[in-house]
């Protein structure tokens, strides 16, 4: 009898794995059945803020592969099917067909859990009102679009993390009056040190965003089922649309209920081959914990870049190959209008929390030779271990061409380099691309001199 791989979750991790298995195994060697509770597969959630902003005009363009396209490649995708339980002793997944209410069970030889993560939604009064939403799916983006077309003019974004900042830009771009409410003292304060986050706050305010920092939302005013205002301790802001962007939690409940190991950070525990602690059960993507290469801790870093890589790794392993996921550094990039924001590794605060003696060294530099048109300023902060000079992390906030420089620093970090070694690296130079001392080299040289 043909062996069967069952995959729960048909987006980045699940479908990367399915595609990789199919590259390595024919249908008669390994059948693949994917249960996906929505009606879509393989769509780029990362593009949603740019869809809202009108930079991307076609929702369909965010779909990398439709269910039909997957089926044509020999992957049995069953959309609108929600996996409700896993019996690891009998190797069975129980499934609810959402359109008919029918329940069924399917045997697996190998099981991959790729259930992703869910947005954090506090139990604030009024949170269920119409007009209060998250931006996690194409349907969410369609609802934002519908509200804008219907005349929404005032938007409030709750939470100034990556998604909050991106959505705020998108809504501003569409001509809405935008307020961003953030409990912490700076935007992106969970991923940047305060001195670097200040540049982001300045850019948001300069663009016309009403930025309410150090302010906690307490609930929503609702009229006729629709949100009309966001309430805070001492004030309220009128709102036609509210987008909540408070971070995510791994969807690990199905695994936990089945007795599959879940770690302290809330994600499914996996090894570097993406095996769970249960035989023949694998997991990948936003639902798992990953090994942090600097701290050695198990962390949840919900990013598409990891979900795709982990999907490829787990697919290779399920198909009988041998691939390892090398861990994460938390490298990430975004932008607010013309300001690019990027980070990798540890911030100063995270280094201290990990018990590492570190200093932060900040350098101001230019993206191109000072005499070449279009040169943009940028700030690079390096976090460096005292004594050894080992690079622990980096943050960049600056104009065009600043952000992707983080990848050079991430490469150095990945390979355990010291800032003195980074300062001596052979990086490219010509006036339209960088000063003769690239900002990365300048920053590393300054840090090497200061430790």
Ligand X SMILES: Cc1cc2nc3c(=O)[nH]c(=O)nc-3n(C[C@H](O)[C@H](O)[C@H](O)COP(=O)(O)OP(=O)(O)OC[C@H]3O[C@@H](n4cnc5c(N)ncnc54)[C@H](O)[C@@H]3O)c2cc1C
Q: Which is nearer to ligand X, 44 or 184 (CB)?
A: 44
3-class state of residue 206 by DSSP: helix
Smallest gap, in angstroms, from Cβ of residue 136 to ligand X? 4
Task: Give the count of alpha carbons within 13 A of 161, CB side only.
Answer: 15
Residues catalogued as catalytic? 46
Binding track, positions 307-346, relative to ligand X; x by CB under 6 A: x---------------------------------------
The stretch among 30-38, 188-196, 312-320, 356-364 that binds ligand X (CB under 6 A) is 30-38
Whole-angstrom distance, CA of residue 293 vs CA of residue 296: 6
- Binds ligand X (CB under 6 A): choice among 11, 31, 182, 401: 11
Angle 50-54-58 from CA coordinates, rounded to 5° = 85
Which residues are paired to 328 by β-bridges? 292
Burial label for 111, CB within 10 Å (0-12, 13-18, 19+), is buried
- Binds ligand X (CB under 6 A): choice among 22, 65, 70, 136: 136
Q: Which of 29, 136, 11, 129 is nearest to 77 (CA)?
A: 11
Smallest gap, in angstroms, from Cβ of residue 8 to ligand X? 5
Q: Tell me how long the chain is.
A: 451
3-class state of residue 116 by DSSP: coil
DSSP at 405: G
- Binds ligand X (CB under 6 A): choice among 36, 193, 350, 438: 36
Q: Which is nearer to ligand X, 34 or 417 (CB)?
A: 34
Q: Does residue 46 interact with ligand X by CB under 6 A?
A: yes
Q: Which is nearer to ligand X, 37 or 381 (CB)?
A: 37
Q: Which is nearer to ligand X, 119 or 377 (CB)?
A: 119
Whole-angstrom distance, CA of residue 55 vs CA of residue 52: 8
Q: Which is nearer to ligand X, 166 or 401 (CB)?
A: 166
The tokens describing 269, both together, are 């525990």
> Which residues 81-100 are close enough to bind ligand X by CB under 6 A?
82-83
Q: Does residue 49 interact with ligand X by CB under 6 A?
A: yes
The tokens describing 90, both together, are 């009998």
Q: What residues have CB less than 8 Å from 257, skipping those under 6 apart?
A: 85, 86
Whole-angstrom distance, CA of residue 266 vs CA of residue 167: 26
> Which residues 266-295 are close enough to bind ligand X by CB under 6 A?
285-286
Smallest gap, in angstroms, from Cβ of residue 12 to ligand X? 3
- Binds ligand X (CB under 6 A): choice among 147, 302, 394, 408: 302
Q: List C-alpha distances in Å: 374 to 136, 297, 366, 432, 442.
A: 35, 42, 10, 8, 20
- Binds ligand X (CB under 6 A): choice among 222, 254, 382, 444: 254
Q: Does residue 9 interact with ligand X by CB under 6 A?
A: yes
- Binds ligand X (CB under 6 A): choice among 48, 171, 342, 451: 48
Q: List C-alpha distances in Å: 10 to 19, 118, 228, 388.
A: 11, 15, 36, 44
**How many residues in the shown chain lie near ligand X by CB under 6 A?**
33
- Binds ligand X (CB under 6 A): choice among 5, 6, 7, 14: 14
Smallest gap, in angstroms, from Cβ of residue 10 to ligand X? 6
Q: Does residue 199 interact with ligand X by CB under 6 A?
A: no
Q: How many CB atoms lie within 10 A of CB 34?
A: 27
Q: Which is nearer to ligand X, 356 or 396 (CB)?
A: 396
Smallest gap, in angstroms, from Cβ of residue 170 to ligand X? 10
Q: Which is nearer to ligand X, 67 or 114 (CB)?
A: 114
Smallest gap, in angstroms, from Cβ of residue 426 to ligand X? 29
Whole-angstrom distance, CA of residue 339 vs CA of residue 402: 9
Whole-angstrom distance, CA of residue 38 vs CA of residue 122: 23
3-class state of residue 303 by DSSP: coil
> Which residues 233-252 are close enough to bind ligand X by CB under 6 A?
251
Binding track, positions 110-129, relative to ligand X; x by CB under 6 A: ----xxxx------------
Smallest gap, in angstroms, from Cβ of residue 222 to ligand X? 25
- Binds ligand X (CB under 6 A): choice among 6, 33, 35, 409: 35
Q: What residues have CB less than 8 Å from 166, skipping those under 6 apart?
A: 49, 50, 334, 335, 336
Q: Which is nearer to ligand X, 11 or 240 (CB)?
A: 11
Q: Which of 418, 407, 425 is nearest to 329 (CA)?
A: 407
Q: Does residue 59 interact with ligand X by CB under 6 A?
A: no
Q: Which is nearer to ligand X, 41 or 434 (CB)?
A: 41
Strands 132-134, 241-244: pairing kind: parallel
Output the DSSP codes for 361-373: EEEEEESS-TTST
Which residues of this protein are in contact with ligand X, per CB under 6 A? Answer: 8-14, 35-38, 45-46, 48-49, 82-83, 114-117, 135-136, 163, 251, 254, 285-286, 302-305, 307
């Amino acid at each position: 009898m043909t062996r069967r791989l069952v995959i729960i979750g048909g987006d980045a991790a699940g479908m990367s794995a399915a595609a990789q298995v199919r590259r390595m195994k024919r249908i008669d060697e390994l059948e693949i059945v994917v249960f996906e509770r929505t009606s879509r597969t393989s769509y780029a959630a990362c593009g949603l803020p740019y869809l809202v902003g009108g930079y991307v005009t076609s929702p369909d363009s965010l779909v990398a592969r439709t269910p039909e396209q997957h089926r044509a490649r020999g992957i049995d995708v069953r959309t609108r099917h929600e996996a409700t339980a896993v019996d690891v002793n009998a190797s069975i997944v129980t499934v609810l067909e959402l359109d008919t209410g029918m329940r069924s069970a399917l045997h697996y030889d190998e099981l991959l859990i790729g259930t992703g993560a869910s947005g954090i939604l506090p139990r604030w009064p009024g949170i269920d009102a119409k007009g209060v939403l998250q931006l996690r799916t194409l349907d969410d983006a369609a609802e934002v679009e519908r509200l804008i077309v219907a005349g929404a003019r005032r938007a409030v974004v709750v939470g100034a993390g990556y998604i909050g900042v991106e959505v705020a830009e998108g809504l501003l771009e569409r001509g809405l009056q935008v307020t961003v409410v953030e409990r912490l003292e700076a935007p992106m304060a969970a991923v940047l040190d305060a001195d670097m986050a200040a540049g982001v706050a300045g850019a948001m305010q300069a663009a016309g965003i009403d930025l309410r920092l150090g302010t906690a939302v307490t609930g929503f005013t609702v009229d006729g089922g629709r949100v009309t205002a966001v309430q805070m301790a001492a004030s309220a802001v009128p709102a036609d649309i509210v987008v909540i962007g408070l971070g995510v939690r791994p969807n690990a409940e199905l695994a936990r209920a089945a007795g599959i190991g879940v770690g302290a950070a809330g994600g499914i525990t996996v090894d570097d081959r993406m095996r769970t602690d249960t035989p023949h059960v694998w997991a990948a993507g936003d639902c798992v914990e990953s090994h942090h290469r600097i701290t050695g801790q198990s962390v949840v870093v919900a990013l598409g870049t990891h979900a795709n890589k982990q999907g490829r790794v787990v697919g290779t392993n399920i198909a009988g190959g041998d691939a390892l996921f090398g861990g994460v550094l938390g490298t990430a990039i975004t932008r607010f209008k013309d300001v690019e924001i990027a980070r990798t590794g540890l911030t100063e605060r995270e280094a201290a929390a990990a018990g590492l003696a570190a200093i932060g060294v900040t350098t101001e530099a230019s993206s191109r030779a000072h005499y070449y048109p279009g040169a943009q300023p940028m700030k690079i902060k390096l976090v460096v271990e005292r004594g050894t000079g080992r690079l622990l992390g980096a943050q960049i906030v600056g104009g065009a061409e600043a952000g992707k420089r983080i990848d050079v620093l991430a490469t150095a970090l990945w390979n355990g380099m010291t800032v003195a070694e980074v300062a001596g690296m052979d990086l490219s130079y010509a006036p339209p691309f960088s000063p003769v001392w690239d900002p990365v080299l300048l920053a590393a040289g300054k840090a090497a001199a200061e430790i």
